Structure 1
Amino acid sequence: MNPVLSGLIDLLSLEKRSDDQFVGMSQDLGFPKVFGGQVIGQALSAASQTVEGRVPHSLHCYFIRPGDAAQPIEYEVERVRDGRSFSVRRIIASQLGKTILVMTASFHIEENGLEHQDAMPQVPGPENFKSELSLYRLHAEEIPSKIRGLLTADRPIEYRIVENQNPFRPRAGIGKRHIWMRSIDALPDDPFIHQSMLAYTTDYGFLETALQPHGISIGNPQLNIASLDHSIWFHRPFRLDDWLLYVADSPSASASRGFVRGQIYNRDGVLIASTAQEGLLRKSELYDLT
């Protein structure tokens, strides 16, 4: 397996301290704050290790304060309920005694029932687009030197954006994105690895959709952007080492907050997950960011 990908699997695996306590290392992406998707994925991994015979079907979390990329993260799982069909877990992620994320996750047994779904949008397949990484490398001279190496380094997940454009000089348009994504190598058959890794992935570039109507780059120095909350609903089994289409749209931005929602399909058009997030979008010329 590619070492970049195996490193992400290890990051999400966690060290077990007790039946309900786990510790995860922080991923250094060149920024002082921990990537929100990492904390989501690790929290789901912690909760999954306390449940048997059931798979996660939804999670809802709030980012309480920024995580420190130089510090490990402690995860404490509360076993809220184990019913006949569902199990609920509450997860607290903390650093140095301070809470950075609160998550509630629900797990469900396998059941058959009514079936329907939205149709997948008709967009060209992933082979028609360049990877986002290749765009970063193409425009490397526009990336600040202190983070250029990190943004142009190999990644465990490949993203191919249908609405391809220069990420540092975006054009104003509708608040909608279509992103093909998959792991860069084959993954183990363990469904919890695929789910925790998808949880990690769903936070990447998601809130950026709310910037598209305004033509503002996520790297704009006048912008303070941060995830405030995040939700995922897992509908059907999937594999992240096959191409998935992440369809994201932003129906609203107001009061320095942007709202985004997403649907994730496999290449056969099966809806496998849905997401939603609200995030901070604050202009520095209007607010004191210190």
Structure 2
Amino acid sequence: MALTVSELLTLLRLREESCHVFVGGSPVDGVRRIYGGQLLAQSIMAMGQTVRDAHRLHSMQGYFVHPGDVMRPLRFEVQAVREGRNFSTRHVRVSQDERLVFIGASSFQTQEGVHERLPPMPAVPSPEQLPSEADFFANETDLLERRRSHVSLIMQLFERRSEQWRPWLDPGVRTPVNGLWCRLREPCGDDPLLCAAVLAYASDLDLMTTAMRPRGYGAMDSHARSASLDHAMWFHAPVRPDEWFYYDMTGPCAMNNRGLGAGALYQNGRLIATAMQEGLMRVDDE
């Protein structure tokens, strides 16, 4: 089933069931397990709806406890941990039929101070100079069908451009670095909470495939499996996910079948967010 940007935005606008309790669903896209970026984005929306408008999201951390099932509704229970003048802290528990799927925490802050130091983005080709993901897969349909995954869902929602599509796919020991341009295919408005949630949604897909590169497995390798264990993000500046942003990724280390992925997200030449993720990395003979 194709998912449109409009449907994604509707998916992220959760229904309030009672005070600080929200309900949401998932797209049925041919993959039974819920995409981790969806849980991140929906959790941000749930927690953000319980704070004052002047408080803006600046950090979010979460743990993926059990795989989520796209066929079952999600229940988001938010706890107000702190309600200060300048900072608010929220916890969220996400469950399906009383089975815990995800736990997370977010911090929100009012605007204060004028000091700003945001590093510039690395020198990379502009998105107009690079091949799109859709164009690449137009000639590689067998790969996409053989290993159907959340990649196809992301392709429907985001335009992504990179010079590394072939190295990303093919097996072979490589340095754990990756980078791509990304933007939502349709406008999403200027709600800061929704924009942060969409950015979190996009941030989940490629960190673990980058971390797996030194092991010699490509993103479409049927012998390699990965699963997110946790995810953290820090939001440094406002973002518009429907405009080009650059995602610069590395895999700093791996140990005990776990890999660490680190990402820096840039827009308009400056750092707007940082992402970190640890994931489980296994191959069939392990």
TM-score range, shorter chain: over 0.9
User: How many angstroms does 1:77 deviate by?
Assistant: 0.3
Q: Give aligned pairs, total.
A: 284
* 8 Å contact from structure 1 (residues 265, 272) kept in 2: yes
Alignment of 1:215-226 (within 5 A): 215-226=216-227
User: How many angstroms does 1:116 deviate by?
Assistant: 1.5
Aligned residue number for residue 93 of structure 1: 94
Alignment of 1:128-277 (within 5 A): 128-144=129-145, 147=148, 151=152, 155-165=156-166, 167-266=168-267, 268-277=268-277
* 8 Å contact from structure 1 (residues 27, 38) kept in 2: no
User: How many angstroms does 1:179 deviate by?
Assistant: 1.1
Q: In the alignment, residue 187 of structure 2 is paired with which amino acid?
A: A
Aligned residue number for residue 18 of structure 1: 18
CA deviation map 1:229-273 (0-9, x unaligned): 00000001121111000111011111100001111110x211110
Question: CA 1:15–1:177 in structure 2 vs 1: closer, same or farther (change >3 Å)?
Answer: same
Gaps of 5+ in 1: none
Aligned residue number for residue 66 of structure 1: 67
Same amino acid, percent of matched pairs:
33
Q: In the alignment, residue 38 of structure 2 is paired with which amino acid?
A: Q
Q: In the alignment, residue 232 of structure 1 is paired with which amino acid?
A: M
Gaps of 5+ in 2: none
* 8 Å contact from structure 1 (residues 177, 247) kept in 2: yes
Please state whether the residue corresponding to 2:42 is helix, strand or coil. Answer: helix
Question: CA 1:216–1:48 in structure 2 vs 1: closer, same or farther (change >3 Å)?
Answer: same
Question: In 2, distance between residues paired with 1:146 and 1:37?
Answer: 19
Aligned residue number for residue 50 of structure 2: 50
Q: In the alignment, residue 263 of structure 2 is paired with which amino acid?
A: G
CA deviation map 1:118-169 (0-9, x unaligned): 2311000101112212222220023335849983896111111232316542
Please state whether the residue corresponding to 2:234 is helix, strand or coil. Answer: strand
Aligned residue number for residue 32 of structure 1: 32
CA deviation map 1:184-204 (0-9, x unaligned): 122212112211111111102
Please state whether the residue corresponding to 1:250 is helix, strand or coil. Answer: strand
Q: In the alignment, residue 201 of structure 1 is paired with which amino acid?
A: A
Question: In 1, distance between residues paired with 2:29 and 2:99?
Answer: 22
Question: In 2, distance between residues paired with 1:175 and 1:233?
Answer: 22
Give the TM-score normalised by the residue count of structure 1: 0.92
Q: Is 1:76 equivalent to 2:68 in the alignment?
A: no
Mean Cα deviation higher: 139-148 or 82-91:
139-148
Question: CA 1:277–1:146 in structure 2 vs 1: closer, same or farther (change >3 Å)?
Answer: closer
Q: Is 1:4 equivalent to 2:4 in the alignment?
A: yes
* 8 Å contact from structure 1 (residues 247, 264) kept in 2: yes
